[in-house]
Structure 1
């Protein structure tokens, strides 16, 4: 998650258009400083659902390390087919929402951020259930757009 945060910071600083940074910043009290912080933080937590037992159990060596730290979990075989009922995006979105709501956020307020976590892998989870945009065959940024290619990050940067 730390690597995603670092890349998000580099993209914000060197690739995201000024107009988009301004659009995000105008709704936050600290302006562009808060906007950058929010983007980096959301990038850091976007895969939090991968830390759930239903996801982590898929790789025995990694699951064993988590068990050694005290996280109880069954094996992938022990979960059986039910494991697929809690994809990491959905699990992460629900956990993130609960965390925000426990700190005074309303469900509607939390949903404005938790959709970032739930949207991993091309699916999003809203009140109507899952929605998948996978296979749409379109990029949000046309390939010919000058910003379609992220910057090259030098080794050791960040």
Structure 2
């Protein structure tokens, strides 16, 4: 009977701990505009992203586009409110046409606010003519496994001629 009670307590404790795992809430990609130094609104998968590096594209949420060859990736992660933990976020940028990993970077989560949110910024300096997937996952020191990943696919492209 004691064995079953211990096993039951372990299972209850494990499920309670699992509720406190870190989660990736969003992956937002913003272009860094070369003329003004401002950032675009978060890119949408439906935005027209052809010839971004010479400014011939259009964004649904921004009519004043400029040339850009660099993106800022904002990964929002969360823990339950009031929790704080040392952790990291991994960002993997993959060229979907060649399946080549263009960037793999890990950054610390930093501090979480009162609501349990932290933002982690990454720089991607190689906007070009390829469809890219930006995928992020997170983990804390308490857990060996990474969180469920979140991703966005952006169809960067180029016209010839």
If the length of structure 1 is used for normalisation, what is the TM-score?
0.28
The higher-RCO structure (CA 8 Å, 6+ apart) is 2
If each structure's helix is expressed as a fraction of its own residues, which one has the higher value? 1
Structure index of larger Rg = 2
If each structure's strand is expressed as a fraction of its own residues, which one has the higher value? 2
